[in-house]
Amino acid sequence: MRRSTLLVGSSALDDAEEAMSTALAELGPTLHTLPDGETGSRRNWITHIVESLRGHPDLELGKDGSWTDYDDTPVFKIRRGHTLYGASLDFGHVAAFDASYPLFRRLRAANDLPDLAFQVGIPGDFDMALFVLGPTGAFLHRRPFTEATLREIHAIHERAGDDVVFQIEVPAELVFVARMPDRLQPLMAGLLGRGITRLAQASPAGARFGVHLCLGDMNHRALGRMRNLSPIVHLANTLIDAWPPQRRLEYVHAPFAAAETPAPTSPRSTRRSDSCGFPTTSASSPGWCTRTAPSTSSASCWDSSSSCWADRSALRPRAASAVANASRRWRPCARPPSATTDRPGPQCPARAGPGDPWVSSG
């Protein structure tokens, strides 16, 4: 079976046109969706959004931070006597879409890929609330972040309809589940996973989605780690069971690696993945390489993920992708990973510097 390639995030290239052109040149026919590379201020996921809230009239700093680690981030609180409304929040997704979508359409036509869809990364509403207000604030004041996220999804869908796939990016949900004792993981997955599906339910009918489960990557450090793949299994099955009709779930990206920690290669650590119940209309996309893993380790990990999913045709991985934020550090392999084969290309060099091309990220 020919594998596809999923690009799940930002690029170290200079602008959207360069990022998309490079991706098409390296991976063109293997792509079903194409993001704009989230270049410039968007390179570090939601950092620029959180920083933009320093002047928000309804928020004030509870704790400042400079983004050196997860404990060194700014945390806001709602000003006394104020109410935070979704209408007052602008995450910038619509403006970024308006800037990149015409470029995407031109490049798609030039490369004769009429079925290629434009991929728009949308941080989950709970994740936005968590990184802005902290854990307590996220549970108490999620609604304005839900409203703002949905407003931007609706605006983009009005412009492009089903030519867009919204990638919902949810590191917090996976990390929360992974931190629970085994017996409580299904309960936490049900609680948080249904929050993701409610976001999809409130989105326009006909909207297309992917879900990017993530363990975080700030300065090449993960927010959390998994003892095994049970957290992915619990969350993925919740998404499948509760996914709303008329909103197509096209893929779930599952991180096997965790930032600086390479993906596990033993059958024992990956055997739970065959408990997922993906329908044939969805695809799984394991993230299998990290900067610290040599090419032989990456190949071994891909072998294990392929073999442990192979017995369920509905669950077989159909796209290769990298652990979150890998594109900010990696140069392209000599052969794009999984463009035409089941193996990564040989000799992926180590760190990428500014302006280096990208293969896949989150």
Domain ranges within the chain, ordered by starting residue: 4-328
Report field, pTM of the whole predicted structure over 0.85: no
Give the CA distances from residue 333 to residues 92, 203, 295, 316, 344, in Å, rounded to whole numbers and listed in that order.
Answer: 32, 37, 10, 24, 8
The predicted pLDDT at position 312 comes to 26
Q: Render pLDDT for 236-293 as a digit per residue (tens, 0 to 9).
A: 999 999 999 999 999 998 887 777 777 666 655 555 555 555 454 445 444 443 333 3
Please tell me which of 66-70, 142-146, 230-234 the model is most confident about, judged by mean pLDDT.
142-146
Q: For residue 43, is it left (φ>0), alpha (ψ between -120 and 50) or beta?
A: alpha
Using CA atoms in the order 361, 165, 254, 18, what is the torsion angle rounded to 10 degrees?
Answer: -10
Overall average pLDDT of the 138-167 stretch:
97
Show Cβ contacts of residue 315 under 8 Å, excluding neighbours closer than 6 positions. Answer: 273, 274, 276, 277, 278, 284, 309
Question: How does pLDDT run across 74-94, given as a tens digit for each residue?
Answer: 999 999 999 999 999 999 999
Stretch 47-64: mean pLDDT, rounded? Answer: 96
Q: 39 versus 323: which is more confidently predicted?
A: 39
Share of the chain above pLDDT 90, in %: 59
Task: Classify the C-alpha dihedral 21-22-27-33 as positive or negative.
Answer: negative
For residue range 218-237, list pLDDT tens digits in order: 777 778 888 888 999 999 99
**Can you tell me the mean pLDDT for 149-174?**
97
**Residue 29, both tokens:** 């026919």
Alpha carbon separation from 152 to 101, 156, 161 (Å, rounded):
15, 6, 13
> What number is the average pLDDT over the span 32-54?
94
Determine whether domain 4-328 maps to CATH 3.20.20.
Answer: yes
From the list 305, 217, 291, 223, the residue with the least C-alpha distance to 256 is: 305
Share of residues in the chain with pLDDT > 70 (%): 72
- The better pLDDT of the pair 19, 346 is held by 19
Can you tell me the mean pLDDT for 2-15?
84
Please, are residues 209 and 162 in contact by the beta-carbon 8 Å criterion? no
Whether residue 311 is predicted with pLDDT greater than 90 in this model: the reply is: no
Flag whether pLDDT at 138 surpasses 90.
Answer: yes
- Residue owning tokens 């969805």: 282
* Residue 305 banded pLDDT, cuts 50, 70, 90: very low
Average pLDDT over residues 43-71: 94
Query: Which sign, positive or negative, has the C-alpha torsion 89, 93, 97, 99?
Result: positive
Residues in Cβ contact with 221 at an 8 Å cutoff, skipping those fewer than 6 apart: 69, 70, 259, 260
* CA-angle at 330, arms to 359 and 353, nearest 5°: 120
Is the pLDDT higher at 197 or at 284?
197
